[in-house]
């Protein structure tokens, strides 16, 4: 399969003021997604982040972009799957579809369009065979299911309206509306919509950076393998124990695990710092790698088709050469911050462990960082205050080696590409019982 974007999901968090789900009269609401997968995609410019045929583009409400599949046939047998945040007590789903490539009349005629398809609701596995019309504009499809959870919808193409110029089928947009007995929370879906806008902006920024020959620390896509794994339970110590026992992390990052334990042992003696980045851009959205937000974290379930970047998703978080670390006068310790309750008193707090520079002469350098992030996020049930903690350990060259949290641990493999440090792959162990391995996508 060609690379597809997965916006990752969540880490285990501290959640305050959690409310029980509120029931209401069945209400239809738009549900948004930034997590779209497909059997294939025509990503001719994906190495430069400039493609406009990525599966995620069916969710952006922009007819000038589209998912375009890349199978040798005209699209029959291909599929696209849109995942949404789980919505319980759902009874009906309405889809609005822009069939074909609706960038222009010429583009519509140039690419095959869907003629017949099977729509499947997930996880209910309710199927409906549908025939679409060969026209531009919106078309609607409605399905009903027994009251229960709704997590996504899959379209599986059965036949197509052929095109003279191309065999690559296109769908411009797919909107999803769900009817549920749970009370609607528009703020939650607004955050979901914002996540896709952030993804688009990130891809555009990365594309411009590549055009200007700015060096990025990540490639455009990684190949992911996911296997079951016996999770030991939450906590920094337990995740470090898991790393020790893992065949990959325990071998390749043994020194970093030892260092993380040292950081944990002296965590309340570390000095408070403010961490910035000399490169202002955030890390780009990458297929197979999650750049998480607190909104992602608040969902409570990891996506297991990607490894995670640090929550502090800046160039400075992954490469010490891009860091701007400034001492902070207050003496707030990690334990004191972790015990805070109620509204957040600060968005991000950080502590640094410093050590001698490699040359033994220069000023001490950052060997490890501890990040605490607090924020208010929207959920389906209202809004919650979320606190998350992570430990970052850097190798002697100043590259991020591991991230340790209470419900996951990551290790990153680095290499040189044209003299620049690049992440070649990585390994994630997730509390939910999944081990995720990333390697450089074969097209590289």
Does 14 or 149 have the greater pLDDT score? 149
Tokens read off for 362:
């220069």
When pLDDT is cut at 50, 70 and 90, the band that residue 21 belongs to is low
Handedness of CA 138, 62, 4, 9 (dihedral sign): negative
- Is the pLDDT reported for residue 16 higher than 60? no
- Is the pLDDT reported for residue 236 higher than 80? yes
Exposure of 114 in the CB half-sphere (CA atoms within 13 A): 30
pLDDT (0 to 100) of residue 209: 80
Q: What value does the mean pLDDT take over residues 17-33?
A: 75
Mean pLDDT, rounded, of the chain:
88
Conformation bin of residue 87: beta by default, left when phi > 0, alpha when psi is -120 to 50? beta
Does 295 or 203 have the greater pLDDT score? 203
Kind of pairing, strands 408-417 and 420-430? antiparallel
Does 171 or 379 have the greater pLDDT score? 171
DSSP state of 268: G
- Is the pLDDT reported for residue 146 higher than 90? yes
pLDDT (0 to 100) of residue 298: 61
Helical axes 236-245 vs 254-265, angle rounded to 10°: 160
pLDDT (0 to 100) of residue 360: 67
Q: Phi and psi (nearest 5°) for 292?
A: -80, 160
- Is the pLDDT reported for residue 23 higher than 80? no
Q: What value does the mean pLDDT take over residues 138-148?
A: 98
When pLDDT is cut at 50, 70 and 90, the band that residue 4 belongs to is very low
When pLDDT is cut at 50, 70 and 90, the band that residue 14 belongs to is very low
For the ranges 69-83, 100-114, 193-207, 295-309, the lowest mean pLDDT is seen at 295-309
pLDDT (0 to 100) of residue 297: 65
- Is the pLDDT reported for residue 15 higher than 70? no
Collect contacts of 290-295 with beta carbons under 8 A, ≥24 apart.
290/6, 290/7, 290/8, 290/9, 291/8, 291/202, 292/8, 292/10, 292/11, 293/195, 293/198, 294/373, 294/375, 294/377, 294/386, 294/388, 295/191, 295/195, 295/377, 295/378
Domain boundaries, the chain: 23-182, 216-440
pLDDT (0 to 100) of residue 50: 80
C-alpha to C-alpha distance for 389 and 13, rounded to whole angstroms: 8
Q: What value does the mean pLDDT take over residues 146-172?
A: 96
Do residues 390 and 404 make contact, with C-beta atoms less than 8 angstroms apart?
yes
Torsion of CA 255, 256, 257, 261, to 10 degrees: 100
As assigned by CATH, the class of the 23-182 domain is: mainly beta
pLDDT digits (tens, 9 = 90+) for 350-364: 999 999 877 665 778
User: What is the length of the chain?
Assistant: 444
- Is the pLDDT reported for residue 5 higher than 70? no
């Amino acid at each position: 399969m060609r690379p597809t974007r997965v916006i990752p999901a969540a880490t285990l968090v501290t959640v305050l003021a959690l409310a029980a789900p509120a029931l209401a009269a069945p209400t239809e609401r738009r549900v948004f997604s930034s997590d779209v997968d497909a059997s294939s995609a025509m990503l001719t410019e994906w190495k430069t982040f400039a493609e406009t045929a990525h599966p995620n583009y069916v969710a952006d409400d922009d007819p000038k972009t589209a998912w375009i599949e890349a199978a040798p046939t005209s699209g029959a047998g291909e599929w696209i799957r849109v995942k949404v945040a789980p919505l319980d007590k759902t009874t009906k789903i309405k889809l609005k579809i822009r069939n074909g490539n609706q960038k222009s009349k010429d583009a519509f005629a140039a690419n095959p369009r869907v003629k017949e398809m099977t729509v499947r609701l997930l996880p209910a596995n309710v199927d409906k065979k549908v025939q679409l019309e060969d026209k531009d504009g919106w078309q609607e499809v409605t399905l009903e299911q027994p009251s229960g959870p709704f997590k996504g919808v899959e379209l599986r193409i059965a036949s197509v309206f052929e095109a003279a110029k191309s065999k690559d089928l296109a769908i411009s947009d797919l909107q999803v509306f769900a009817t549920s007995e749970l009370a609607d929370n528009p703020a939650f879906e607004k955050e979901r919509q914002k996540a896709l806008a952030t993804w688009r902006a990130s891809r555009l920024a990365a594309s411009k950076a590549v055009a200007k020959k700015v060096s990025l620390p990540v490639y455009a896509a990684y190949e992911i393998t996911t296997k079951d794994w016996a999770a030991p339970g939450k906590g920094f110590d337990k995740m470090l124990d898991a790393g020790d026992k893992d065949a990959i992390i325990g071998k390749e990052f043994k020194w970093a695990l030892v260092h993380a334990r040292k950081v944990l042992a002296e965590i309340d003696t570390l000095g408070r710092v403010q961490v910035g980045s000399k490169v202002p851009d955030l890390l780009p959205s990458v297929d197979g790698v999650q750049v998480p937000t607190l909104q992602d974290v608040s969902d409570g379930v990891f996506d297991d088709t990607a490894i995670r970047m640090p929550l502090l998703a800046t160039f400075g978080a992954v490469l010490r050469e891009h860091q701007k670390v400034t001492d902070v006068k207050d003496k707030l310790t990690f334990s004191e911050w972790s015990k805070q309750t109620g509204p957040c008193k600060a968005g991000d707090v950080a502590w640094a462990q410093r050590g001698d520079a490699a040359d033994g002469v220069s000023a001490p350098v950052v060997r490890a960082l501890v990040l605490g992030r607090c924020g208010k996020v929207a959920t389906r049930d209202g809004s919650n205050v979320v606190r998350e903690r992570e430990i970052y350990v850097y190798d002697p060259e100043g590259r991020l080696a591991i991230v340790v949290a209470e419900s996951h641990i990551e290790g990153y493999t680095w290499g040189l590409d044209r003299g620049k440090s690049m992440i070649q792959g990585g390994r994630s162990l997730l509390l939910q019982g999944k081990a995720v391995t990333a390697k450089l996508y074969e097209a590289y």
